[in-house]
Structure 1
Amino acid sequence: MPEWRKDPLVERWVVIATERGKRPCDFKVPVDEKKEGRCPLCPGNEKETPPEIIAFREQGTRRDTPGWWVRVVPNKFPAVRVEAKEGVRRHGVYELMDGLGAHEVVVEAPDHDAYLVTQNNRQFEEVIWAWRQRHLDLRRDSRLKYIHIFKNFGQTAGASLEHTHSQIIATPMIPVDVREELQGMRRYTQATGRCILCDVLDQEMAERQRVVTQTDKFLSFAPFASRFPFETWIVPREHQHDFGEIRPDQVPDMARVLRDTLLRLRESLGGPPYNLVLHTAPVNETDTMHYHWHVEILPRLTIMAGFELGTGFYINPTPPELAASTLREQEVFCLPPVMEHAQREVTRYV
């Protein structure tokens, strides 16, 4: 019998089609065609991107040259621009403004043929540090209200470049999805004095039905009202509203849980396309302490059609309990570690 399940954060109802119970083998994972040509993100091609904003690189190497292991550059074709003017204008019943914001690309490894999931935990940590450093820097612009960190993997998920990378877009307004989460978390805190996501973590750890993997500091689980098959969230077990406040002792745990979860998705589903989004509290705003930041991994295994687009409801053919048990029981093969960096900068921790 299908079930309607309610997301406790945003009060959104989802249909869990329990009688379908789709397993990994029931999904057709698209195979991306390799693109030929010169990759602008590869070492040696640094002049084909805008000048780097930051790079974690070997000591003695020059800016915009090889020798880096993580590199952040402005997007060559940005959706928004930092030089745009601030201010909303009226046009009859409509409002509009210039395309203010920032759009950056985080190149997650030098090797063109590597995936983020094939990197070792230390390289994962470096990517997280780059995300944090850019998050803290971009928020200094008081015109910006939200910093969205995300990764598109696979052509179906919107990745236009093969070279492993993630993106950061900072906007002068709070996205609707995040605003709904803010409001839902605020309502729960006002009613109970507690954080809804903290209570979700307590229940998930007690029931163990939807847990995928965990460490002392992070939990990976399939949400009770998952919108998509094998949707997985990674949440800090300590209440923390702002990703920018992640501590050095938390980063290795986050890297380990994120990599382990992505490996389980890859081994179980054959490397599906996915979107990874990091939801955090808005910046340059007050009254956000009740928020609880988290990462959402959204595999692209189904297509949104008329029902989803017309109602805002989702139909998920894979119950999260089945998804979690499949991922939890998946044997994760150890990958050979990449070469450690002999000399490592420390300014990235500032």
Structure 2
Amino acid sequence: MPELRKDPIVQRWVIIAAERGQRPSDFRVEASTVEINPKACPLCPNNEERTPPEVFAIRLDGSKPNTPGWLVRVVPNKFPALRLDSDLNRRGMGLFDMMNGIGAHEVVIETPEHNDDWDTMPVEQLQRVFQAFQARLNALKEDTRFRYSLVFRNYGVQAGASLSHPHSQIIALPIVPQLPKEKLTSARQYYLDKERCIFCDLIFQERELQKRVVMESKHIIVLSPFAARFPYELHFFPTRHNHDFAQENEDVLRDLAIVMKRVLTAVKRLLGQPAYNFVLHTAPNPVPRPGRPDYWGTLPYDYHWHWEFIPRLTRVAGFEWGTGFYINPVAPEAAAEVLREALRASPDEVR
């Protein structure tokens, strides 16, 4: 029997159609990537002049900006969705609200190695990637025009990747987008009602049930969410409450790198080389607003940063667009079980 489930955070309904009986092998795919000769890749070392000048880099000692010798490099997107060089110019016309397309759009080049992925790069390198995210999130908060910065990673053509070299993107926006706003608003209301973090309560409850816990380490817990929209969707939470990824300490970043490597290895063991998206949900920029000085006043207490992982195994079609519902043919409990088995089959030591 199919089951309707309601997401306790954003109040979104999902159809779990597990009677379709799809097994992991039914989803096995090989990712379609945009293959480029590394010598021609604009993100590879020795091609630094083919990107805009870097805004941040982690480099080997002695190497100069915009030259080889970098370990992680952040550059403005050559074809940005938004631009920095203007004022917001908020305006309206009747029912229509408008402002200039102000924002930052950056590319985080994660490694000099053209063929790496998060499951193959060393833990120290993935930790450097997270450090670069933190540095840029903190820098972008200094621009008071920006209300929210989104970190995301597209892997494979089906997930939106246009280059195969390992990279992520950061887009800073002058508004808080709808989905993050729904999570933030729900978390704030829950805290005002109960003086507890809804995400901490969720983690406590899932630990008690143990049905959807995929993995837990010293600092990170991985859940197959109760109302997962997609097969093998996963959420990564810090076990200790923290609202802002940019403030997280090095021990947590290293543990997160280890956990992400292990989980992504398990996913690929089950599903082949699926395209996927990683998305970071973290604190917005707490810019004071005229007349609303306490708008994010409870943010350090009510919000909880987390990563969402979405393998691109199904398509969003007319039903989803027409209703806002998602149809997931794999029960989250079944996904968690097979992923736990795949993790047990993988070595515990990750380098």
TM-score band w.r.t. shorter chain: over 0.9
Q: Percent identity?
A: 47
Deviates more, 1:95-104 or 1:185-194: 185-194
Partner of 1:342: none
Residues 194 and 336 of structure 1: CA distance in aligned 2, closer, same or farther (over 3 Å): closer
2:232 pairs with 1:218: no
Q: Does the 8 Å CA contact 2:33/2:161 hold for their aligned counterparts?
A: no
Q: Deviations over 1:226-268 (max 9, x none)?
A: 0000000000111111111111221111111122221111111
Q: Does the 8 Å CA contact 2:28/2:270 hold for their aligned counterparts?
A: no
Q: Deviations over 1:58-101 (max 9, x none)?
A: 11111111111111111010001111321212234312111100
Q: Deviations over 1:297-338 (max 9, x none)?
A: 01110001111100101110000011111111102258995x
2:318 pairs with 1:316: no
Partner of 1:29: 29
Deviant stretches of 4+, over 6 Å: none
Partner of 2:303: 291
Q: Does the 8 Å CA contact 1:148/1:277 hold for their aligned counterparts?
A: yes
Q: Distance in 2 between matches of 1:311 and 1:125?
A: 39
Task: Quote how far apart the aligned CAs of 1:31 are.
Answer: 3.7
Q: Does the 8 Å CA contact 1:21/1:322 hold for their aligned counterparts?
A: no
Deviates more, 1:326-335 or 1:58-67: 326-335
Partner of 2:99: 97
Partner of 2:11: 11
3-state SS of 1:116 partner: coil
Structural mapping, 1:1-350, within 5 Å: 1-32=1-32, 34-37=34-37, 38-285=40-287, 286-287=296-297, 288-289=299-300, 290-330=302-342, 331-332=345-346
Task: Quote how far apart the aligned CAs of 1:26 are.
Answer: 1.1
Partner of 2:290: none
Residues 32 and 85 of structure 1: CA distance in aligned 2, closer, same or farther (over 3 Å): same
Q: Does the 8 Å CA contact 1:118/1:335 hold for their aligned counterparts?
A: no
Q: Does the 8 Å CA contact 2:258/2:350 hold for their aligned counterparts?
A: no
Partner of 1:346: none
Deviates more, 1:177-186 or 1:92-101: 92-101
Q: Distance in 2 between matches of 1:21 and 1:324?
A: 15
Task: Quote how far apart the aligned CAs of 1:33 are.
Answer: 5.1
Residues 313 and 246 of structure 1: CA distance in aligned 2, closer, same or farther (over 3 Å): same
Structure 2: gaps spanning 5 or more residues: 288-295
Q: Distance in 1 between matches of 2:116 and 2:165?
A: 8
- Amino acid paired to 1:332: S
Q: Does the 8 Å CA contact 2:233/2:308 hold for their aligned counterparts?
A: yes
What is the total number of aligned residue pairs between the two structures? 337
Deviates more, 1:23-32 or 1:145-154: 23-32
- Amino acid paired to 2:329: P
Q: Distance in 2 between matches of 1:336 and 1:2?
A: 39
Structure 1: gaps spanning 5 or more residues: 338-350
Q: Does the 8 Å CA contact 2:123/2:350 hold for their aligned counterparts?
A: no
Residues 157 and 252 of structure 1: CA distance in aligned 2, closer, same or farther (over 3 Å): same
Deviates more, 1:253-262 or 1:40-49: 253-262
Deviates more, 1:165-174 or 1:22-31: 22-31
Deviates more, 1:154-163 or 1:114-123: 114-123
Deviates more, 1:18-27 or 1:68-77: 18-27
